[in-house]
Amino acid sequence: MEGLEACFECEVEQSYPGVWYKNGKRVNSSSNIEIDTLNEKVHKLTIFQTTLEHTGKYEIKIKNISSGADLDIKEMPDAIKQMSEHDRRIFLKAAKNGTAPRYSVRIMLVGKQSVGKTSLLRRLMNEGIEDIESTNGINIEVKKCKINVHTNEWIFNKGKYEFTIKFSLSLFYSENSLFNI
């Protein structure tokens, strides 16, 4: 896909110079293309950020022998093109590596009536519980705080004050409720 890295390698038994070609035309190093030889026997062509124009047949010629492969670059979907530059970089990194860190936590409190789910949520968010009334039906609340993923600290802002609570995330079970934190 557009924006990802493409790499071709050719390993030979003896040290010979090689020349890379795309669709029969010689390829030279540039700001986006690196041509390298490792240990004098591994010839490497790397395209750092592919575009649709990089589609084609790539070959390396060493002496009178050539070897090649086709590179087919797919167009980046419109939804990804419309992302901010930052989000697009994260997406491309995830596409390259197969994963991306996600810095958010979703907490679902489930339990029987009158066991203190709302009180627990308020305590987690360092909010008072004096004015809590029984919740009838389902109550969905979206709350935000910063989480330091290295120290497991949740950082809350209350007006001009900031405070920190350290949690270890795990699964709690009691006779009346299941808390998935």
Residue 115 sits in the same domain as residue 92: no
Portion of the chain with pLDDT greater than 70, in percent: 79
The pLDDT assigned to 167 comes to 56
pTM over 0.85: no
Residue 126 sits in the same domain as residue 69: no
Residue 53 sits in the same domain as residue 121: no
The full length of the chain comes to: 181
DSSP 155-180: EEEETTEEEEEE----EEE-SSEEEE
- In degrees and rounded to multiples of 5, residue 92 shows phi and psi of -65, -35
The answer to whether 6 and 47 have CB atoms below 8 angstroms apart is yes
Residue 92 sits in the same domain as residue 120: no
Residue 23 sits in the same domain as residue 92: yes
The pLDDT assigned to 168 comes to 53
Residue 62 sits in the same domain as residue 13: yes
Q: Which pairing describes strands 6-11 and 33-38: parallel, antiparallel, or unpaired?
A: unpaired
Is the pLDDT reported for residue 32 higher than 60? yes
Is the pLDDT reported for residue 178 higher than 60? no
Let me know if residue 103 belongs to a domain: no
Structural domain tally of the chain?
2
The answer to whether 83 and 100 have CB atoms below 8 angstroms apart is no
Let me know if residue 1 belongs to a domain: no
Residue 93 sits in the same domain as residue 22: yes
Of the candidates 165, 1, 149, the one whose C-alpha atom is nearest the C-alpha of residue 76 is: 1
User: What range does the domain containing 22 cover?
Assistant: 6-80+88-97
Residue 121 sits in the same domain as residue 93: no
Residue 175 sits in the same domain as residue 114: yes
Residue 19 sits in the same domain as residue 92: yes
CATH number for the domain harbouring residue 47: 2.60.40.10
Residue 118 sits in the same domain as residue 73: no
The answer to whether 9 and 42 have CB atoms below 8 angstroms apart is yes
Residue 121 sits in the same domain as residue 50: no
Is the pLDDT reported for residue 148 higher than 80? no
Let me know if residue 46 belongs to a domain: yes
Summarize pLDDT for 110-141 with one digit per residue, the tens: 888 888 888 887 777 777 888 888 777 777 77
Let me know if residue 71 belongs to a domain: yes
